[in-house]
C-alpha cells in the first residue's frame, strides 16, 4: 500500500513537471503591463500630484490634516457609482487570474487580451481579444473556473457574430439576469400536467390510487338560503319538490 501511494505521487509529480515544460508561461510585455495596470498607475500618479501640491501650497502640517479629512470622506459606505467603478478595475484582474489557472492561452503563452470593461445592471461586461490558439469554446469550457475567479453568480460567454476573435463575457453579480438564472424554467405552452399553471391556475396532482385521466366528480351546488316556509308549507320536504295539500280531519263515514 505504501509503495502504491509513493508510485502514484511520483507519477503525479512527473505529469506536473511535463505540463510545465510543454506549456509556456504567460508572457507579459511592457506595453501590455502598462495597459493592464493603467487605472492603478493613474490613481498613484493623481495621489502623488495631490500630495505634492498640498506640500507646496500649505506645508507639511496642513497636508497631514487635509489627507486625514480626505481619508475620512472616502471610508465606507460608498455610493453605487464608486462601487461600480471599483468592480470595473477588479474584474479584469480576476478574469486574467482565471485564464492563467484554467490554462487558456496560445502556444506561445498569450492569454486573451482585455479590451474594455463596462458596468451593466447585472454586473460587468468585458470585451476580449482572443489571440490565435484560443477561442470562445475554450472560455465556455472554463466557465466554472472563471465564475469562481470573478466571485460572481455566473459568467456568460457571447461570441461575436462577425469577428470570431472578439468575445464578450458578462460577469453576472446581481439584478434581473442573476434572478433569471435561478428561476425554474416555465412550462411549455399547452402543458396541463400535474403542477402546471394554466389559464385557471395551477393544476393539482392526482390523488394516489386514481388515474390521471379520471374525470372529477361533479358537485351539485347547495340551494341558496331563502325565507322560512309558511305554516301550510312543507318544511321537511325534499328541496325542489312541490308541497301537497294539508291533510285535515276525516268527517265522512268509515
Spell out the domains of the chain, with CATH numbers in brackets.
Answer: 79-180 (3.30.980.40)
Query: Given pLDDT bands bounded at 50, 70 and 90, which one contains residue 58?
Result: confident
Mean pLDDT of the chain: 74
Please give the pLDDT value at position 215. 46
pTM over cut 0.85? no
Query: What is the residue whose three cell numbers read 465606507?
Result: 76
Minimum mean pLDDT range among 65-74, 142-151, 158-167, 198-207: 198-207
Over range 121-142, report the average pLDDT: 93
Element (H, E) at 125: strand 123-129
- How far apart CA 31 and CA 37 sit, in angstroms, is 10
Q: Name which residue leads in pLDDT, 193 or 46.
A: 46
Query: What is the residue whose three cell numbers read 351539485?
Result: 220
Please give the pLDDT value at position 227. 56
- How far apart CA 182 and CA 82 sit, in angstroms, is 28
Query: Given pLDDT bands bounded at 50, 70 and 90, which one contains residue 72?
Result: confident
Over range 213-238, report the average pLDDT: 51
Alpha helices in the chain, H assignment, sequence order: 2-22, 30-36, 38-57, 60-73, 80-102, 136-141, 143-149, 176-182
Please give the pLDDT value at position 17. 67
Please give the pLDDT value at position 182. 43
CB 110, CB 27: distance < 8 Å? yes
**Per-residue pLDDT for 213 more than 80?**
no
Query: Given pLDDT bands bounded at 50, 70 and 90, which one contains residue 217?
Result: very low
The sheet with strand 113-120 has its strands ordered as 113-120, 123-129, 166-172, 154-159
**Per-residue pLDDT for 87 more than 80?**
yes
Q: What is the distance in angstroms between the CA of the first residue and the CA of the last residue of the chain?
A: 116
**Per-residue pLDDT for 102 more than 60?**
yes
Amino acid at each position: 500500500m505504501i509503495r502504491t501511494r509513493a508510485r502514484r505521487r511520483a507519477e503525479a509529480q512527473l505529469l506536473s513537471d511535463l505540463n510545465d515544460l510543454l506549456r509556456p508561461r504567460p508572457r507579459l510585455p511592457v506595453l501590455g503591463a502598462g495597459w493592464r495596470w493603467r487605472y492603478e498607475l493613474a490613481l498613484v500618479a493623481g495621489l502623488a500630484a495631490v500630495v505634492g501640491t498640498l506640500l507646496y501650497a500649505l506645508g507639511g502640517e496642513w497636508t497631514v490634516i487635509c489627507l486625514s479629512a480626505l481619508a475620512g470622506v472616502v471610508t465606507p459606505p460608498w455610493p453605487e457609482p464608486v462601487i461600480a467603478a471599483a468592480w470595473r478595475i477588479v474584474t479584469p484582474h480576476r478574469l486574467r487570474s482565471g485564464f492563467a489557472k484554467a490554462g487558456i492561452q496560445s502556444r506561445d503563452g498569450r492569454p486573451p487580451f482585455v479590451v474594455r470593461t463596462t458596468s451593466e445592471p447585472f454586473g460587468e461586461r468585458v470585451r476580449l481579444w482572443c489571440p490565435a490558439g484560443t477561442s470562445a469554446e475554450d472560455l465556455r469550457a472554463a466557465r466554472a473556473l472563471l465564475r469562481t475567479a470573478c466571485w460572481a453568480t455566473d459568467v456568460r460567454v457571447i461570441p461575436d457574430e462577425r469577428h470570431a476573435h472578439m468575445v464578450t463575457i458578462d460577469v453576472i453579480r446581481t439584478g434581473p439576469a442573476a434572478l433569471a438564472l435561478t428561476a425554474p424554467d416555465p412550462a411549455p405552452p399547452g402543458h396541463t400536467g400535474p403542477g402546471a399553471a394554466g389559464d385557471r391556475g395551477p393544476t393539482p396532482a392526482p390523488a394516489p390510487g386514481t388515474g390521471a385521466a379520471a374525470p372529477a366528480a361533479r358537485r351539485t351546488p347547495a340551494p341558496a338560503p331563502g325565507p322560512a316556509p309558511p305554516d301550510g308549507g312543507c318544511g321537511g320536504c325534499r328541496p325542489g319538490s312541490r308541497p301537497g295539500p294539508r291533510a285535515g280531519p276525516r268527517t265522512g263515514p268509515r
